[in-house]
């Protein structure tokens, strides 16, 4: 594995506790919010944290020029996704959309254009600096149909059956308790509601030392699950019609011997009516 240098702004943490992981994820994405993804140096953390990785140069790689023009420069600079969940399913005028791990808000602002003034978009993120950035971006765009809420996606601040569609972009891999995330998504969706997720998965278990590397976790690699396990957890939560729409290799793992196993997928699923 690539030798890493110690960074004063990203102290090494052992991912033995979920709280350690959440704290490390918050540190990483506070830096992304404050300086943009391109400012995060390559410390071996891969995907969502390196300038030359699968998530960078991000907005230009994931979105059309027209989509990028529709959001603020700051939202585009903080874009740390690994796909385009807006592109894999229709969002309709008047609908309520929830974004799990909304970051600087790029997908929320794109969703807001589709649901229009009678619809509503709710962005959820646990990193205060990301919520601050997203709210500033919303003010700049005069996006009155978007709100951002500080919360963990494992415990959503929304009522049962209140959401028409959930989007999420490169976030669930970062959560220590994925079954709980899928259970919460299922709870807040109305019957017939849709889940549109882009995320990192692996085709085989990564070496244990990679899984135990918190920098690889915050970079969207160590927390990535084997694809069948990931889809199985969606099914266990109650989702049906689970369909992988796109699956592409990522450059996030560089030339590591296990790099071939890391993929970015976009998945659709439905809460049965
Ligand atoms: C890789 S970034 C992606 C942000 C955004 N979806 C995008 O495409 O730019 C991950 C974001 O998810 C947030 N996040 C990670 N784990 C979370 C959790 N368990 N609960 C809420 N937010 C979380 C981070 O704070 C960060 O803003």
Q: Tell me the CA–centroid distance for residue 240 and ligand 1, in Å.
A: 25
Q: What is the number of other CB atoms lying within 10 angstroms of the CB of residue 248? A: 11
Q: Provide the CATH topology of domain 18-270.
A: Rossmann fold (3.40.50)
CB 173 within 8 A of CB 224: yes
| Pocket flag, ligand 1, residue 266 (CB < 6 Å) | no
What is the mean pLDDT for each group of 10 consecutive residues in the chain (273 residues)? 35 57 93 82 49 58 94 93 95 98 98 98 98 98 98 98 98 96 98 98 94 89 96 98 95 84 96 97
Q: Is 169 touching ligand 1 by the criterion CB < 6 Å?
A: yes
Degrees, nearest 5: CA angle 181-185-190: 165
Report the alpha-carbon distance of residue 197 to residue 82 in Å, rounded: 10
Q: Is the peptide bond before 144 cis (omega within 30 degrees of 0)?
A: no
Determine the pLDDT at residue 54. Answer: 43
Q: Quote the pLDDT of residue 19.
A: 80
Domain ranges of the chain: 18-270
CB of 152 closer than 6 angstroms to any ligand 1 atom: yes
Residue 83 CB partners (closer than 8 Å, separation 6+): 62, 169, 170, 198, 199, 246, 264, 265, 266
CB of 127 shorter than 6 A to ligand 1: yes
**What pLDDT sits at residue 255?**
83
């Amino acid at each position: 594995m690539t030798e890493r240098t110690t960074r004063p702004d990203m102290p090494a943490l052992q991912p033995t506790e979920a709280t350690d992981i959440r704290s490390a994820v918050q540190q990483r994405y506070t830096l992304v919010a404050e300086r943009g993804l391109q400012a995060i140096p390559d410390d071996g953390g891969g995907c969502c944290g390196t300038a030359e990785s699968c998530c960078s140069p991000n907005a230009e790689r994931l979105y059309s020029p027209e989509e990028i023009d529709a959001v603020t420069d700051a939202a585009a600079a903080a874009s740390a996704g690994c796909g385009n969940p807006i592109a894999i399913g229709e969002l309709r005028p008047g609908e309520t959309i929830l974004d799990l791990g909304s970051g600087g808000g790029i997908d929320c602002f794109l969703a807001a254009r589709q649901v229009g003034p009678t619809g509503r978009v709710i962005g959820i993120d646990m990193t205060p600096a990301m919520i601050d950035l997203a709210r500033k971006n919303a003010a700049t765009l005069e996006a009155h149909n978007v709100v951002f809420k500080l919360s963990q996606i494992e415990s959503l601040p929304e009522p049962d059956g209140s959401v028409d569609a959930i989007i999420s972009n490169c976030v669930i891999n970062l959560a220590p308790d994925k079954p709980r995330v899928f259970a919460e998504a299922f709870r807040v969706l109305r019957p017939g509601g849709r889940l549109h997720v882009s995320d990192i998965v692996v085709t085989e278990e990564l070496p244990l030392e990679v899984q135990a590397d918190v920098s690889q976790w915050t970079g969207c690699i160590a927390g990535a699950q084997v694809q069948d396990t990931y889809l199985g957890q969606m099914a266990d939560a109650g989702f049906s019609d689970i369909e992988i729409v796109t699956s592409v290799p990522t450059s996030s793992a560089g030339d590591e011997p296990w790099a071939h196993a890391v993929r970015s997928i976009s998945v659709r699923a439905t809460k049965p009516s």
